[in-house]
Structure 1
């Protein structure tokens, strides 16, 4: 029986480009998505909690009117990463996103680490968005005369602000509204990606249309004085000033993670080498423009210090005094957040599908439905896990961890472009990163990938600083959550992934025959 490769060999265990291309021909998924559907998938996965919730929080607590600069900083970090995603997707049209790229560039252990980070990114993001959906949906139902009891739209565990951060409070309640939204999306994803994409496209038109209506009406109620001073004086730590701009950027960086979902759809795109780069970059540019415009009008209507609430757009509409617009905004929020849940859960299931095909996760995550050709068992399992997390956990305390995991994964994607250019310069690249590159000691360093790595580090630094500060002040909860998650990932690889790796077994078999 083949043995598992030893640790030194495991470090060098990488997939080849030929293996990636071969896998893209045998995955069994249907190629039904065109460029418009891919762009809509990116927009649908991105425009959601970031604009409906986090814009107000980041402006009130960190940046003030300079939140507009924060969006530019976070957008640039994502844009340079999007260029790298575009090149890799055109070269390796497979699902799995950053996980697959890391398997090629840095080997199996790094790929597992990235996959574990993506689980955090997509799973927790999806649960957090579902919690936002619950808030807006409950408010909308209240406006329509339907009252949802408080114990059915609040999580079992809540955070309680203290002088040293946040403590946990457990009460007999469950967020049934948020959990139900996840289960409904799970049902549609089981039916098939084409049907889900049609629903998502319809929802995208609704929520973008509602935001455009908010801009058209709200621009007439903007008070220029609310934008002065544009960069509020620093009040210590990351509260306002230039440090606040970058801290706010790290917060709203969470709002951009959805564009990456397009890369997970490579295995189901009709022409992935051409359409996936278009979908990634196009959706990111559209979302950044929408974010900045809506944020500018929002801050012009309501003083930024009053925006630290769960529904800042609703506050702005109430200030305008147009009840009909308030109803439409909440409808847009409910539908918009629903499409984000769909995009994030879709991306998570496809990443798990790819990891399971490599043997690093149980095979149920890559088992396809005989009729719908979707990884239906894995989709149901993940949907149930996210629904339980939505119903019970205080997602807000780990949103920073999501941004941390996202920045790390994005940095690896950018590094993969540099690695691939140096090891396989002969590969055809239908899309290449712009701005070229320079050679240092014979090594090609791309300008766009290098800037992407730099901006990802910039996103990560404030998160680490705040985590260390919280630990120093007697609040170890963020550090404990991060440490526990890392330990679980290590144990998962050591006790399952390492011994079930198909690539590891293949290599062991080859060595035993030689």
Structure 2
């Protein structure tokens, strides 16, 4: 058994499953921005400033961006040398062995499905607030899950359904909608920056580090999760034109742009009004606009937030379906999930993700398990970093369109940062994660190991 579970996927045989190459560096960058800049910039910035770092939150975002940057460099190298669908799952399968590939795939399934469902619930909340303004009222029974006093969160299930139908049209069509929604979101953010730039009071920056550097570090642990999702770009490698060049550009470019925007918006927020005033504020951007006397700002922010959350649902759904497709193609999941339609889309994989998302988003209180998506991501980041080091030793001749500088230092920094952040998660999260892992390993040994094409 030892020889089978540690077998490595031949790198030369990855990919080639029928997905169409239609995406370029621009589409990848927009995809990354679409999934990174979402609820983080519209929700987390205010609370993190009030409770952790004050105006020094700009340093927290910079620190978190550097930590994610180390992991992003590792993703960029592996995506340029193993340009196959599946992302971190395929990287670990080829570099570390089948059991590690399955573990990362199972972790990422947790991340993508839970994150997609949570984003859909957030989308539903914004829509529920906007509809009364438009003169539309929906009954509570179809606006909340059973534990929140409703019967089903119909808007959450509805947006997942719409995005799934769009995915079935093909990756190019999905990318076009994503580009449009990201453009709306960026326009709203840039408009916010322009509107409040002349209303900044320098006195609000004193003190700049009210909680000291300890607050900056704890703030980094909080805002790190605002970056989650850039790794989803790697799952689309098999649909990218010239992936050796375009994958690194998309991954690194989207992360750099997101970091700059996070820092600028945070600087503006804490300059318009005192950081302490954001305590308990769930919509800091709208709050800042109101404080600046721009009353119509809340509607503008809602439009940007709805666009941002829509792109999150779209990208996470597409990423998870490609992950299931890759695992099925390798024999670790039933072969039906790897069948591709005439549009170059794994239809049954999309349907599977749609069903899981509708169940979670429609019937469960996602907030109680949202931390689990962070746990899955941190494990994926760590093993991707290990894979870079291993392949540099075992496969030095491998063609790499991009190379991580200062190996093994950069991958080791990524691993240390991930370990530190994982330790900040609650004991309950760790317990549920161990249960999830046990279920996944049971599926692997009962089905995946026996049906693996490498066996």
Both proteins in one fold, TM over 0.5: yes
Deviation at 1:144, TM superposition (A): 2.5
SS state at 1:95 partner: coil
The alignment covers a number of residue pairs equal to 454
Match of 2:289 in 1: 317
Q: Which moved more, 1:219-228 or 1:71-80?
A: 219-228
Counterpart Cα distance in 2 of 1:308 and 1:494: 46
Counterpart Cα distance in 2 of 1:496 and 1:421: 32
Deviation at 1:419, TM superposition (A): 0.6
Match of 1:228 in 2: 206
Runs of 4+ in 1 over 6 A off after TM superposition: none
1:154–1:314 Cα change, 3 Å: farther
Counterpart Cα distance in 1 of 2:207 and 2:352: 49
Match of 1:473 in 2: none
Match of 2:7 in 1: 13
Match of 2:264 in 1: 293
Match of 1:85 in 2: 75
1:156–1:295 Cα change, 3 Å: farther
For residue 413 of structure 2, the aligned residue among 451, 456, 471 is 451
2:162 corresponds to 1:184: yes
2:326 corresponds to 1:354: yes
1:56–1:204 Cα change, 3 Å: same
Residue deviations 1:286-317 (CA, integer Å, cap 9, x gap): 01111111122223334434343432222222
Contact 1:397–1:478 (CA under 8 A) maintained in structure 2: no
1:387–1:80 Cα change, 3 Å: same
For residue 349 of structure 2, the aligned residue among 359, 366, 378 is 378
Counterpart Cα distance in 2 of 1:489 and 1:368: 25
Match of 1:460 in 2: 422
For residue 25 of structure 2, the aligned residue among 32, 35, 38 is 35
Contact 1:136–1:311 (CA under 8 A) maintained in structure 2: no
Contact 1:89–1:266 (CA under 8 A) maintained in structure 2: yes
Contact 1:223–1:301 (CA under 8 A) maintained in structure 2: yes
Deviation at 1:242, TM superposition (A): 4.2
Gaps of 5+ in 2: none
2:128 corresponds to 1:138: yes
Counterpart Cα distance in 2 of 1:300 and 1:148: 38
Residue deviations 1:412-432 (CA, integer Å, cap 9, x gap): 111111111101111222211
Match of 2:180 in 1: 202
2:314 corresponds to 1:342: yes
2:423 corresponds to 1:429: no
Counterpart Cα distance in 1 of 2:126 and 2:423: 32
Contact 2:286–2:297 (CA under 8 A) maintained in structure 1: no
Query: What is the alpha-carbon root mean square deviation over aligned residues?
Result: 1.9
For residue 280 of structure 1, the aligned residue among 251, 274, 295 is 251
User: What TM-score comes out, normalization by structure 2 length?
Assistant: 0.94
Counterpart Cα distance in 1 of 2:423 and 2:331: 34
User: What TM-score comes out, normalization by structure 1 length?
Assistant: 0.84
Considering only CA atoms, is the larger Rg found in Structure 1 or Structure 2? Answer: 1
Counterpart Cα distance in 1 of 2:50 and 2:137: 30
